[in-house]
């Protein structure tokens, strides 16, 4: 596959934005995209057959990501959004090198927002084990500001709690504080929610941490980055477009789809089932 990026032309503009995540959590990014860019159509692929990615090796997540990108290109995606922090952390450079349209991950937009938000220069990052072990957030944050202090922590219990729908429970509050309390004690003033599931815990975290800690949500900032990219590449859908959302999963939906749909108040319509392994990786 060549590295040549597809130029923006009138036919290109109405094509969908291809979005993927390891599962349902990336719908937080879709929600932010739908709010910001209602004229854009979105094709979302959630790899529910192989979720979670957060405990898997980088090479496995890279292979999965390239297979999914191949499917999104077949769906005519005009740009690809990696709505998964783990895949953004370990597979973004492989995707960028292999995919002939621009690829946007969630790490850079989240890091930029954190740099803009911090007053003390001490930023906390939470995410899956793979995301935190990759050091991707530290690298990007330091490339933006070499003086920045970063304290990162993997929070592997949060994804299962969210998928269980335990968004407002005393046990969830306790686990959040077990993970995040030490970061607060160390003096962070900004916390990057470095996992696509975590925006669903935003209310609980805001309640627990109060307004001394600024929460940075990768979903909203990723949507802003996609908006800027579409303008830059002259790929904005015409204003007359009624943007649509097509959701495809690799395994039949479970209760988490209902939980996410209710929490986000997102109309996902009829869900398709797709097999990404039928696609040769790029």
Binding site for ligand DGL (CB under 6 A): 21-23, 25, 51-54, 84-86, 127-128, 131, 159, 195-197
Q: Which of 51, 141, 180, 195 is catalytic?
A: 195
Q: Are residues 239 and 49 in contact, defined by beta-carbon separation less than 8 angstroms?
A: no
Instruction: Give whichever of 131 and 172 is closer to ligand DGL, judged by the CB atom.
Output: 131
CB of 114 to ligand DGL, least distance (A): 16
DSSP calls for 159-202: HHHHHTT-SS-HHHHHHHHHHHHHHHHTT-SEEEEESTTGGGGH
Backbone angles phi, psi at 252, to 5 degrees: -55, 145
Q: Identify each DSSP E strand in the chain by its residue range.
A: 17-21, 42-46, 79-82, 103-104, 122-127, 149-154, 190-194, 214-217, 245-249, 272-273
Active-site entry in 24, 71, 84, 201: 84
Distance CA 174, CA 47 (A): 30
- Whole-number Å distance between alpha carbons of 107 and 110: 5
In whole angstroms, what is the distance from residue 58 CA to residue 25 CA? 19
Helix (H, G, I), strand (E, B) or coil at 1: coil
Task: State the nearest-atom distance from the C-beta of 22 to ligand DGL, in Å.
Answer: 3
In angstroms, the CA 250 to CA 46 distance is 7
Q: How far is the CB of 175 from ligand DGL (least distance, A)?
A: 16
Q: Which is closer to ligand DGL, CB of 43 or CB of 64?
A: 64
Q: How far is the CB of 209 from ligand DGL (least distance, A)?
A: 20
Q: Which is nearer to ligand DGL, 8 or 253 (CB)?
A: 253
Residue 18 or 235 having the CB closest to ligand DGL: 18
CA distance 154 to 169: 21
User: Is position 195 annotated as part of the catalytic site?
Assistant: yes
235 versus 247: smaller Cβ distance to ligand DGL: 247
Which residue, 59 or 244, has its beta carbon nearer to ligand DGL?
59
223-to-3, 75, 77, 275 alpha-carbon distances in Å = 24, 20, 16, 27
Q: How far is the CB of 127 from ligand DGL (least distance, A)?
A: 6
Q: How far is the CB of 197 from ligand DGL (least distance, A)?
A: 5
- Bridge pairing between strands 214-217 and 149-154: unpaired
Enumerate the active-site residues: 84, 195
């Amino acid at each position: 596959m060549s590295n040549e990026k597809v130029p923006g032309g009138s036919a290109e503009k109405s094509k969908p934005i291809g979005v993927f995540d390891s599962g349902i959590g990336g719908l937080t990014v879709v929600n932010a995209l739908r709010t910001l860019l209602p004229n854009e159509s979105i094709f979302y692929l959630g790899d529910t057959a192989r979720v979670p990615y957060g405990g898997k090796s980088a090479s496995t997540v890279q292979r999965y990501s390239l297979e999914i990108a191949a499917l999104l290109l077949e769906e005519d995606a005009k740009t690809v959004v990696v709505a998964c922090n783990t895949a953004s952390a370990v597979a973004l450079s492989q995707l960028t090198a292999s995919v002939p349209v621009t690829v946007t991950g969630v790490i850079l937009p989240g890091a930029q927002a954190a740099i803009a938000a911090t007053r003390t220069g001490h930023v906390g990052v939470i995410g899956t084990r793979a995301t935190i072990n990759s050091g991707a957030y530290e690298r990007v944050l330091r490339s933006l500001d070499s003086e920045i202090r970063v304290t990162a922590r993997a929070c592997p219990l949060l994804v299962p709690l969210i998928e269980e729908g335990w968004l407002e429970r005393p046990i969830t509050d306790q686990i959040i504080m077990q993970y995040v309390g030490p970061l607060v004690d160390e003096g962070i003033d900004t916390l990057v929610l470095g996992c696509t599931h975590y925006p669903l815990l935003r209310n609980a975290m805001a309640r627990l941490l109060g307004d001394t800690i600024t929460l940075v949500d990768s979903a909203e900032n990723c949507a802003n980055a996609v908006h800027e990219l579409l303008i830059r590449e002259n790929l904005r859908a015409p204003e007359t477009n009624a943007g649509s959302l097509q959701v495809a999963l690799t395994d039949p939906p479970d209760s988490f789809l209902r939980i996410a749909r209710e929490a986000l108040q997102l109309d996902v319509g009829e869900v398709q089932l797709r097999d990404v392994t039928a696609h040769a990786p790029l």
